[in-house]
Chains A and B, each alone.
Chain A
Amino acid sequence: MREISITGGEPLTRKKTALSNKILRELNDLKRKYDNERFSLLPALYLFQREYGWLSAEALEKVGEILGVPKTTVKSVSTFYAMFRHKPMGRHLIQLCTNVSCMIMGCERLTDILKTRYGLGPNATTHDGRFSFLVMECIGVCDIAPAMVVDTDLYGNLTEDSLIGILERYE
């Protein structure tokens, strides 16, 4: 087994509710970098997601207000993209690739483990809020299939045992 741990995916999810002034300031800075404020929409959504872990209706509305983009449009754009999350996530995010290369290299055995051992179905969160599991399309590391990203850490050449071992490190 070759286990590597390079960064990938996204920072940890965080739970905060009120929109801080800091983020509003950052957003204002961001929008100034673009000729057309609208072009900064995706980066703005990332900014909010990085801060709060997901995009609430309030966040979408705020982004729209600051960028001068209708809130309906913001929602429409953000729900188009699979990486924007519209409900709160667990403490750790398991993003397991299930596309063909990973599938033929055995990722199904891994989803089974998530189900049986952690009670975790695709695109769901464990009851204790420890893990959320997102089914991924190809994450571009097919040479180390099957692969996954937990929070920001990439793991490849996974086996049942290594998966369990890895997940035990995330509390």
Chain B
Amino acid sequence: MITITIDGKKISFERPVTILDAARAAGIHIPTLCHHDILKPYGGCRLCLVEVEKVPKLQTACSQYVSDGMVVRTETEKVVDARRAVLEFLLINHPLDCPHCDKAGECELQDLAAKYGPAMGRFAEGKRRYPENLEDPLIVRNRERCILCLRCVRMCDDVQGASALSVTGRGSKSYIEPFSGGAYDCEYCGNCLAVCPVGAITSRTHRHGFRPWLMEKEVETVCSYCGVGCSLVLQVRNNSVVRSVPRSGLGLNRGLLCSKGRFGYDCLNYGDRLDAPLMRRNGVLERVTWTEAINCIADRMKEIKRENGSDAIAGIVSGRCTNEDAYVFQKFFRGAIGTNNIDSVAGMAYGPAQRFFEKILVQGVTANPIQGISDSDGIFVIGGDPTAINPVLGLQVRSASKKGVPVIVVGHPGGLKRYSKRAFIMNSAAETVFLAALVDEIKRRRPLPGERPVLEEIINGFRPAPLEDASKMSGFGPNDLVDTAHALSNMSRPSIIIGRDIVQTDTGHMNLLFLAALTYLLNGRIYLLSELPNEQGVLDMGCQPDMLPSGRPLTVETFRKRCEETLGIIIPPAPGLSYAEMTEAAHEGRIKALYVMGEDMVLGLPDSNYVRGALRNIEFLVVQDRFFTETAKYADVVLPALSWAEKEGSYTNLERRIQLTRKAVEGESIEEWKVISEISKTFGLHMGYRSAADIFSEIARVSQIYRELTLEGIADGKSVWPYRGGPLRYDMHTEGTKLPDIVSVMEESGMSGVHVRREAHLFHSQNASRYSPALLSITPEPHLKIGDILADRLSVKDGDRVKVSTDAGSIVLSARRDPCLPDNVVLASTFDGGGIFEITKWRVNPITKAPASDVNGVVIDKEEAITVLHKDRADSLVGG
């Protein structure tokens, strides 16, 4: 026990804390500038100097630890004089341009100067003058205002791990800049501008447009870009969101955000929002009233149901819909239309993967706290770059790596490049072989745990390929395989991080089985990367062709009956079609009517031409969205939707934490659930909800998983799986779960030629980012990453246009050389039109029902003509 006296107060601590923390605990405020709770002590600004008895010199409270018996004084004359002196030093070169500065009103230096009012005007020489740097589309640097506290640099190096910003020069001549000295080559997390205490680093998105004192309200909510579900605060003025910021005490992101959360809020204010329903008349979409639109939907759907049966109708929800909207949607389809044809993007990879792991391991096996990653003793990443897909989760991987935890990546390391000892990049078939070889090698090094006899039987019975063959096929030497297996075998609680691309391929089902085996052998914790904010939620809500909102299979009659009773509807007993199957059925004319809520199928599914064909074949297509999407172009009725910031609701993140999303601004539309219940009414199914909370309480009644939760109750963000009670019991299903004969895999899918893989992009999510000028200004168009050897062979430089062709067609992308890539694999981003989905041939894995997102045997040529996509859009929308 350490007891100290601080300003006369006695206070005790179990463990040594800094004087600053001790003072805070005693309710005493000590001014600081270079200190930031997220960062390690730095001791540079010298504002926090305090007197410590028996120590002749003043001590910095932020960096000195208390010791037993210490007597500290924080407001003596000596201390106050020191503060005033330091402030004066800070201000001699700091411009007094507060009226013009974007930081005014929330500037830590301004506040301190106001409080301690240093003697001014004694500095007779001119202040240092430097022009503001506006070379970057998003981040403005003002060297004059910089006080060199290095919070930005420490944030960028130690927390974000991007190291995109550093100090150049020495002493009073030092300044902060990115390598280029101009624009940033960085992850645009914006955490640097968040920690800058002054106006030296500011955001261009609200340049000269934001004044803290003019802000009308702040609304705490959850980010709608990815499955991490970072907490953020939307700051509102004139019914428009002017900024989104994190709060250090709030949510699992603890003060951090990624580019999308920080800058992507501007899609809320995107000019071309849909604001009224549209209906196709004589081939043209025209504005109509809500009543007209709803009547039309009701009439046409009833007609199709009458003529073709309920199963000719299907519905797709987006992973961006709230739980409430998704729940009402499936209830409408099951209860009013009478079909189980409901699915979502989560049905493509996240859902099948989770289902598979739960079946073979245990329910809830993918529900692991993100914070836990940095505590694991090894990390295995496959199928996607966590730092791009779920950036704030990716930070955990980096922080583990900094502690010396080994990180093994199968696939492009992306943002983990400096954080993984080794990454193995190869084509998809090779990955399966590689995984198989790993499982086999590990199985020999670690005894089977003996907990799951069925799984062990599978693992024992599996016939591996000879190491030599596996190595030949994957392109990595036998030693690489053996070393990796060895490294993995030494882990006792690794995190296994799995992205979509390992599922969305021809051998996806095998990959899942190998990964389950790996997890079992290594006692791993699975993290499924989730590219949308509510993939888990829409699954939980029963937006699946064969699962009920209770998280139980509808084919089990007792489950179905109980659900029917609670809901007061009849549920068809046969499972419906999955997302991919619906698309195929539409293509073949078996689906006549399709209701798409928030999903842009044309851009979101591989083989855009195939999808367009399917949409063209649909007799009656309803699209409900915020924007006039590529899919909406084929619609018969288009309904405007609200954004997540315009309504109440909840999201369930990838660790299965249910979080509240709050309404920040009024939207020019009606909540999706309200619209659907109106339509439902015409079918005789009266839902009668008055609010999202109403819906949530019904969900809590229906779903075993959400049992006893309320919308108010989840507001603290602490509702994590298994919520209130244990996981549901499942019997282990073993059908379809046989480890494949890997020798035959090798024979069947000996991939040759250049293989294109999808690159999940850091600055772009599935489609919302298309409407964010800020995010488009960083990366206006998709690109192709190409290895040095291949690039040299084609004499392609960065920025050159290359034509990528398959049987399905060709696209032109701008090239980026990437030294990590081997010569037989290239990466293409898919955000926005023109990505590789334009040329990915439609292939669906029969077991996972996931459409493949990779293409093999592409031809790449250098293209001379130059076309620029969206550049204009970006330029016109970012203020200067």
Contact = CB atoms under 8 A, between A and B. Distances in A.
Contacts of A68: 418
B279 interface: no
Interface in B3-47: none
Nearest to A70: B163
B787 to A, nearest CB: 15
A79 B178 CA distance: 13
B163 A79 contact: no
B448 to A, nearest CB: 38
A73 B179 CA distance: 9
B371 interface: no
A68 B409 CA distance: 17
Contacts of A72: 163-166, 178-179
A76 B179 CA distance: 9
A79 B169 contact: yes
Interface string A100-128: 00000000000000000000000000000
Contact of B166 (A57, A61, A73, A81): A73
A122 B704 CA distance: 78
Overall SS of chain A's interface = helix
A61 B178 CA distance: 13
Contacts of B250: none
Chain A CB within 10 Å, residue with most, of B157, B165, B168, B178: B168
A68 B169 CA distance: 22
Contacts of A76: 166-168
B352 to A, nearest CB: 37
A79 B168 CA distance: 6
A79 B156 CA distance: 19
Interface in B157-178: 157, 163-170, 178
A75 B170 CA distance: 12
A157 to B, nearest CB: 31
Nearest to B173: A79
A80 B169 contact: yes
A14 interface: no
A60 B170 CA distance: 17
Nearest to A86: B168
A62 to B, nearest CB: 12
B168 A70 contact: no
A76 B154 CA distance: 13
Nearest to A57: B179
A68 B819 CA distance: 14
Contacts of B157: 70, 73
B180 to A, nearest CB: 8
Interface string A66-102: 0010111101100111100000000000000000000
Contacts, number: 33
B166 A75 contact: yes
A60 B180 CA distance: 12
A75 B179 contact: yes
Nearest to B161: A70
Contacts of B170: 79-82
B418 A70 contact: yes
Chain A CB within 10 Å, residue with most, of B163, B165, B418: B163
B179 A71 contact: yes
Contacts of B164: 70, 72
Nearest to A60: B179
B422 to A, nearest CB: 12
A81 B165 CA distance: 18
Contacts of B163: 70, 72-73
Interface in A50-67: 57, 60-61
Contacts of A61: 179
A68 B418 CA distance: 7
A80 B167 CA distance: 9
Contacts of B167: 76, 80
A46 B496 CA distance: 42
Contacts of A79: 168-170
Interface string B138-159: 0000000000000000000100
Interface string B178-203: 11000000000000000000000000
Nearest to B178: A72
B172 to A, nearest CB: 13
Nearest to A61: B179
Contacts of B418: 68, 70
Contacts of B169: 79-80
Contacts of A60: 179
A79 B169 CA distance: 5
A60 B179 CA distance: 10
Nearest to B819: A65
A87 to B, nearest CB: 13
A75 B167 CA distance: 8
B825 to A, nearest CB: 21
Nearest to A72: B166
Contacts of A73: 157, 163, 166
Contacts of B165: 72
A57 B177 CA distance: 14
Chain B CB within 10 Å, residue with most, of A70, A73, A81: A70
A61 B163 CA distance: 13
A134 B178 CA distance: 27
Chain B CB within 10 Å, residue with most, of A60, A76, A81: A76
Interface string B414-447: 0000100000000000000000000000000000
Nearest to A71: B179
Contacts of B168: 75-76, 79
A81 B170 CA distance: 8
B812 to A, nearest CB: 29
B720 to A, nearest CB: 35
Nearest to B171: A80
Interface string B203-238: 000000000000000000000000000000000000
A95 B527 CA distance: 59
A72 B156 CA distance: 11
- What are the 5 closest A-B residue pairs judged by CB atoms, nearest first? A70-B163, A76-B166, A72-B166, A79-B168, A72-B179
20 contacts: A60-B179, A61-B179, A68-B418, A70-B157, A71-B179, A72-B164, A72-B166, A73-B157, A73-B163, A75-B166, A75-B168, A75-B179, A76-B166, A76-B167, A76-B168, A79-B169, A79-B170, A80-B167, A80-B170, A81-B170
Given A72-B164, A72-B165, 7 more contacts: A70-B166, A72-B179, A73-B157, A75-B168, A79-B169, A80-B169, A80-B170
